[in-house]
Every structure is written in structure tokens, then in C-alpha cells.
Amino acid sequence: MMNIAVLVSGGGTNLQAILESERRGENPNGKVTLVVASKPGVYALERAKNFGVKGEVVRRKDYATAEEFDAALLKVLHENNIDLVVLAGFLSVLGPSVIAAYPNRILNIHPSLIPSFCGPGFYGLRVHEAALARGVKVTGATVHFVNEVCDGGPILLQKAVEVQPGDTPEILQKRVMEQAEWKLLPKAIAMVCSGEV
Ligand code: GRF
């Protein structure tokens, strides 16, 4: 049974999808035992509480250096015997010491079909604004392993989503979440926990 930590920064709809999938028995080899938020008061922490999952906050600005932030993050992960780290909208950059501690054991969900619309500065609504600005007819979401290159790790799963006439960034974001993100992330987690990847 793998202990899973989900790292969040916002509303936690991906966390909700993961917890509901677990409750449906779709990940028999893993369990979310920790949620780490990059700041207090995010709704994702409420969602964790609703499922009886322990919540912690590790906030970058509480630490003088990135290295101290990474050390604090690693401490929380090690104290909770975490085997798999899932980034679900986590907006703080993970440093090399965290990435080195979890080789092929950190997953990230990105709201585009990597390598499009990814890399530094491409997060949240900005991704969908860029897709609409470029005029793509298809976008989607990607689950990839995290390495030292921002959004550059090995791709595990992708799912395409149609862009429709009149889409705003908000409408497109919701469609990508509903049709892709909330399906791909629980599936990717189950694949890693089952040893399939
Ligand atoms: C979503 O846009 C997701 O694609 C990205 O960060 C956001 C997380 O949203 N990774 P939520 O906090 O899971 O609702």
C-alpha cells in the first residue's frame, strides 16, 4: 500500500477527484494520507478534512531560502512515510533535493497537451488563454513525472479535449478539468501504485 501526498494551492478539484476515485475502490494499492497546501485557507484543505485526510501547510515565504523550503517539505513527506507525491495545482517550485528524493515518484497534472503551452509561467487560466490566443482546435491535459525541467518530465497519460466556438478561458478550463484532468490523475496514480509504471 503506497502512502500518497497530494500537494495543492487552490480549490482542490483534482484532489476531490482523487479522493472520490479512491472511495470508489479504484486504487487498491494506494491511499492519500496527506495533503500539503502551499498556503493556509485554500479550499483544498477543506476537501481533505471532509475525507478525514491530514492537512499540512508549507509556505515558501516562511523560509529564507528555497533550500530551507525544500528541506521543510521533505521533512513533512518523510515524517508521513510518503511513497508517492502528486502535484495537483501546486504553485511552488520543487527544488532538486525533493525531486532527487522521489525519482519517478512525483506526478504532475498540466492543463494542456505538453509540449504545447507549458513551461515557466504557464499555469492555471494562463494555459487556456494561450491556447485560445493561438486558436488551437484541440487542447487537453497531461500527467507527467516531475523532473528538474519545468513540465519536462516523462509523459504518462494525455487526453484531448475539443475547443469550442465562443470558449472563454474559464469555460475551456472547466471542460479540460471535467473531461480530462479529473479522469487522468486518478488513473495515473492507480497505474503507479499498481506497479504498472
Ligand atoms: C488546474 O488548472 C490544474 O490543471 C492545474 O492547477 C489547477 C488545479 O486546480 N494543475 P484544483 O486546485 O485542482 O481545482
Q: Whose CA is nearest to atom 5 of ligand 1?
A: 89
Distance 67 CA to ligand 1 centre (A): 25
| Ligand 1 neighbour 13 (Cβ under 6 A) | yes
Report the catalytic residues. 110
CA gap 116, 134 in Å, rounded: 10
Q: Could you report the per-residue pLDDT of 7-45, keeping only the tens digit for each?
A: 999 999 999 999 999 999 999 999 999 999 999 999 999
| Ligand 1 neighbour 140 (Cβ under 6 A) | no
Helices 43-50 & 13-23, crossing angle to 10 degrees? Answer: 10
Distance 5 CA to ligand 1 centre (A): 16
The percentage of residues in the chain with a pLDDT greater than 90, rounded to a whole number, is 99
The percentage of residues in the chain with a pLDDT greater than 70, rounded to a whole number, is 100
Distance 126 CA to ligand 1 centre (A): 12
Residue 94 neighbours by CB under 8 Å, 6+ apart: 70, 73, 87, 106, 146
Q: Could you report the per-residue pLDDT of 72-119, keeping only the tens digit for each?
A: 999 999 999 999 999 999 999 899 999 999 999 999 999 999 999 999
The verdict on pTM exceeding 0.95 is: yes
